[in-house]
Chains A and B, each alone.
Chain A
Amino acid sequence: MSASPGVWLAAIFTLAIYSFLYGDNPVYKFSEHLFVGLGAAHMAVMGWESMFNRAWTPLYTKGEWWWSGAIIGGIMLLTRWFRPIQWISRIPLGFMMGVAAGLSARSAIDSQFWRQIQSTVTMKLNTTNNIVYVVIVVCTLAYFLFAFNEKSGLGQGIKGVGLVGQYMMMIAFGASLGSTIMARLSLVIGRLDFLFKTWLGVLK
């Protein structure tokens, strides 16, 4: 059995969280509230450090003036705490939303849309596997068509193809679930390893 207070503490917290699997209890509540506090604090510390390293130091020591935009924007965000001037925080907020949209659109157009099509159109339909692949892509995509009248002939057709796509998606979802179970079990194995090897020392 370990003599290190740190290991004991870690073991107690591990058991505290697992106790939730039986039901909510004071020990879990304590650990949960502690963790939420620590988590927010760690993020604040990392955020502060990063702000300092990334924006303040280059601005202050190297004269990279353009960082001041970020710092001024940040201070504008903080007006949120003062009701009469709260509206000022909307200015950087609007900016953040815009940039997020720009960035989202950018990666969607390139890696998620264009390049995925590119790697599909180069497929030659000369093996069964490739034909299956292309058919599945087409059917799945058909499921995501929205703007049609379900009662019309075309609508019925799209719905039919989409239904095949739906079945294909179910295969994919099953596969994901199946392979995820393994990944998740590893995490418990990691904790058990800690409890029985590092803490109790009963496992070689």
Chain B
Amino acid sequence: MNGDFLTRMQNIDRRVIYTVVFLVLLFPMFNPIGLPLKISLVTQKAFDAVDALPAGSLVMFTTANAPGTAAELEPQSIALMRHAINNKLRVVLNPTAAESPRFVDGYRQMFLKAGYVEGKDFLVLPYLAGGETLFGAMGSDLKSAYSMIAAGSSALWDSIDGMQDFDMLADCGGGESQLWALAHIEAKHKTPTICLITAVILAVRQPYFTSGQYKGIVSGLSGAAEYEVLARVPGKGASGMDAQSMGHLWVIFTILAGNIAYFITKGKKSSGGDR
């Protein structure tokens, strides 16, 4: 190894890194390694909270799932829906982001296939814009927030007076909706709340779990995998975990290699790409 090689390595073409990321992720998808899966406390608690609900309990599922984040949120949501179906829970599906209604259609099909009756065992609310404002409106008066749903059109909807009738609120998204759920619904009605989130925001949501405001958190693809194991509903989450581990290993390797090269060539001038 000479200094030239090391300098070049520090300023390695991005495309090399990209290609290896692809390969490293693909390899374990074809050759599963079966690395251990450790169930984290947040997922365990989320599962426990749902599992403790007796059959017929009413769950509100607010989702801000969007194509961009679906790779993480969709496996979680599907695991939760299947768990709900197995435990015979009644569910109100509520798309809260403009890109979510298509995903909710998918869950609707799942319920119909499982023999649920729309309007009696489960319900799909229309999408309304508003973000935080919408959560505020739901918390203060659910029925008037959705006043466009005519009375008598659904037995389930008619039996609900407001958020106080729900036994659980599950909020799914990669944005701020979990905070709105806390501020406007959990704080007001003490509805047990869990959230399904992208792994990125776990760091900032964890304090709310510690304080007991969330009963549990399903976070990222690993959360989905753990939930699938707990609820015994195998799905996409578990199959991606090996690839994740390998991807991580590669990133750590590049970082270490980069640092070693940096220290050996330290003092020599490195050109570009190193700001």
Direct contact of A and B (CB under 8 A): yes
* B243 lies within 8 A of chain A by Cβ: yes
- Residues of A near any B CB (own CB < 8 A): 21-22, 42-43, 46-47, 49-50, 53-54, 57-58, 62, 103, 107, 110-111, 119, 172, 175-176, 179-193, 196, 203
The answer to whether B244 touches A53 (Cβ under 8 A) is no
In terms of DSSP, what is the predominant structure of the interface of chain B?
A: helix
8 A Cβ contacts from B185-243 to A: 198-200, 202-203, 207, 211, 220-222, 236, 239-240, 243
List of A residues within 8 angstroms of B247 by Cβ: 181, 185, 188-189
* Residue ID in chain A nearest B219 by CB atoms: A183
Nearest chain B CB to A103 CB, angstrom units: 7
* B183 lies within 8 A of chain A by Cβ: yes
* B70 lies within 8 A of chain A by Cβ: yes
* Residue ID in chain B nearest A22 by CB atoms: B15
Given A22-B15, A189-B25, A196-B26: A183 and B72 interface contact (C-beta under 8 Å): yes
Which 7 A-B pairs have CB atoms at the shortest separation, nearest pair first?
A190-B71, A183-B199, A50-B129, A186-B221, A46-B98, A185-B247, A189-B240
A188 and B126 CA atoms in complex are apart in Å by: 31
Nearest chain B CB to A169 CB, angstrom units: 13
Which of B30, B71, B99, B132 touches A203 (beta carbons < 8 Å)? B30
A58 and B155 CA atoms in complex are apart in Å by: 22
Which of B25, B132, B199 touches A179 (beta carbons < 8 Å)? B199
* B251 lies within 8 A of chain A by Cβ: yes
* B262 lies within 8 A of chain A by Cβ: no
* B151 lies within 8 A of chain A by Cβ: no
List of B residues within 8 angstroms of A175 by Cβ: 203
Known: A47-B98, A186-B244. 4 other contacts (CB 8 A): A53-B126, A179-B203, A187-B69, A189-B221
* B128 lies within 8 A of chain A by Cβ: yes
Which of A62, A110, A179, A196 touches B29 (beta carbons < 8 Å)? A196
A190 and B220 CA atoms in complex are apart in Å by: 12
* B124 lies within 8 A of chain A by Cβ: no
A46 and B240 CA atoms in complex are apart in Å by: 33
A176 and B202 CA atoms in complex are apart in Å by: 9
